[in-house]
Amino acid sequence: MALQALPTDHVAPSWVPGQRPPHRQQQPEHIGYRGFSRMSNLFIEQLMPACPEAALKAYVYASRVCREDGTFFISHATLAKKLGLKHRASGQRAISLLRSAGLVEVVTRAGRRGRANDYRIIAIDEVDMERAREALAQGLPWKSRGVRAGRVEVYARGE
């Protein structure tokens, strides 16, 4: 097979290496590029002050690992480890709070143990800010089930 020469009217790309190619200009604001993740100023200004530390860390981490369409998957145990927390239930509570605030939704629920759910970060302009602020202000969902042998057992609510 012979190589074909480029036509003489061939134009070099209109973008410079090191810049975003034109077809990637329309990515959602929270999608990372070249090693950086982006956070919406609206989230930072309006929701971050009310957000508990674990939920804020979970949202930042989700923004970092999400795909171009905003979807991501992570197990509760892995999320807890990435956030510097000790128990799987801590990761579960952080995601549960983000879900109740309307910042994250479940796309595909894992049907079996050992498989992580698929989630999607909701675009910030689709979020009901008042509902999100109220949910975040309530803090992480937890409920004490009593003391057994001097240890308080904590369980996630609503999962």
**74 backbone φψ class: left, alpha, beta (φ>0; ψ -120 to 50):** beta
Q: What is the CA radius of gyration of the chain?
A: 21
Number of compact structural domains in the chain? 1
Residue 143's Cα: distance from chain center in Å? 24
1 within a domain of the structure (yes/no): no
In a domain, 11, yes or no: no
Range of the domain at 68: 29-155
Say what the pLDDT of residue 40 is.
85
Within-domain flag for 115: yes
Mean pLDDT for 95-105 is: 93
CATH number of the domain enclosing 149: 1.10.10.10
Q: Does any domain span residue 3?
A: no
* C-alpha closest to that of 94 among 104, 14, 71: 104
Q: What is the pLDDT of residues 81-97, one digit of tens each?
A: 999 998 888 999 999 99
Question: 22 lies in a domain?
Answer: no
Instruction: Examine residue 7 and state whether it is found in any structural domain, yes or no.
Output: no
- Asked whether residue 2 is domain-assigned, the answer is no
> pTM of this prediction?
0.67
Nearest alpha-carbon partner for 47 in 31, 36, 58, 37: 58
| Beta bridge partners of residue 33, listed in sequence order | 36
